[in-house]
Amino acid sequence: MPDGVGDATYGKARALKMRIALDAMGGENAPREVVRGAVAAARDLGVEVVLVGKRSAIAAELKDHRSDISIADASEVVEFEDHPAQAVREKQDSSIVVGINLLKNGNASAFVSAGNSGAVMAAATLTLKRIEGIERPALGFLFILPWHSVLLIDLGANADCKPSQLVQFAQMGSVYMERIFGLTRPRIGLLSNGVEENKGNLLVRETHQLLKDTGLNFVGNVEGNDIPRSVADVIVTDGFTGNVVLKTGEGIGEMVIQSLRQELARLPLFRMIVERSIRTAIQALDSAEHGGVPLLGVNGNVIIAHGHSEAKAIKSAVFMAKRAVEQGVVEAIKKGIS
């Protein structure tokens, strides 16, 4: 066994630091970039990282790093093309299932994966179970801008939703923003094609009426171009619409980043003058800064990172998991729903 590579010995007395289970086989750049991100997270964030996956592959990557990161062996991998629920049932020794079980059994405080997001959601829902009272878990994405942060929920876990489920997404999103960003009574907006109360499809109109009768700080309908305008802290929508918004934003962000970098390369003097401002803009648009998205509504802290995550994004995802544990997000959602 290479130096610095240990067996994952899971006694609670051993855990002097918060322990985060990380899917080493998940993502287009696994295991190399996942291992690099894990090493950086363990070094800089004050957490213990357990890499879950094929021991030989992980050990081969760890040998180039001076680290005491441990490995939880998992012989199978859920591929992106696998059917999520079927893969979870048939690949019980996959890195996703083993990692979720570490969380369920109290041997990890959170689980992070850049693998098959549908399989992560299926494993979390089947193994950890939904928080009592939650109809469906939801994925939230943070748009972190220099002047404001906005949580969009749901972004793909539930393509078809009922109004009552969107209300629960709003409740969970409100708790998340309170705990992670310290906001008092976060403003809740409902994504629609117009700000007027009578705008939107049937789902939006019915949800609007329900949200008005909750104790949430509901500010009404918002449009897509309101996301960066600080009009709401949480924007609620169904998973189909949320996923389209997210993918569109990612595409535009990549285009802007490449354009900025090309201009900076062509105009070195301009770069010297505005480098700090441009760097801030790039960071706001760079998905690697955001790390991953929380799966809210299950009995455990689960973060799903982007499939093409590199080391920086993996480290950011581990940081998000750490914050969720520290701020008691799951416990707060349980209390809020009850």
pLDDT tens profile 49-82? 999 999 999 999 999 887 889 999 999 999 999 9
- The pLDDT value given to residue 287: 54
Kindly report the average pLDDT of the chain as a whole number.
Answer: 88
Q: What is the pLDDT of residue 274?
A: 59
CATH number of 139-289: 3.40.718.10
Q: What is the pLDDT of residue 9?
A: 47
pLDDT band of 272, cuts 50, 70, 90: low
Structure tokens at 80: 């992106």
pLDDT reported for residue 276: 58
Distance (Å, whole) CA 134 – CA 168: 7
Which of 251, 228, 237, 100 minimizes the C-alpha distance to 156? 237
CA dist list (Å): 170 to 138, 219, 331: 10, 12, 16
Confidence of residue 4 (pLDDT cuts 50, 70, 90): very low
Instruction: Find the mean pLDDT for residues 117-130.
Output: 96
- Same-fold call for 1-134+297-331 versus 139-289: yes
Question: Is the confidence at residue 266, as pLDDT, over 90?
Answer: no
39 pLDDT higher than 90: yes
User: ∠ CA(286), CA(289), CA(292), 5° rounding?
Assistant: 105
* pLDDT number for residue 3: 39
Q: Class of the 1-134+297-331 domain?
A: alpha beta
Residue with the bigger pLDDT between 235 and 273: it is 235
pLDDT at 303 (0 to 100): 96
Largest CA distance in the chain: 65
Residue 89: the pLDDT is 96
Peptide bond into 228 cis (omega under 30): no
The predicted model scores a pTM of: 0.85
135 Cα distance to chain centroid: 20
Residue ranges covered by each domain of the chain: 1-134+297-331, 139-289
pLDDT at 312 over 50: yes
Q: What is the mean pLDDT of residues 312-318?
A: 94
Question: Backbone phi, then psi, for 103, in 5-degree steps?
Answer: -65, -45
* pLDDT value, residue 249: 76
Q: Encoding tokens for residue 69?
A: 């990161």
> For the residues 266-289, what does the mean pLDDT come to?
57
pLDDT band at 254 (very low <50, low <70, confident <90, very high): confident
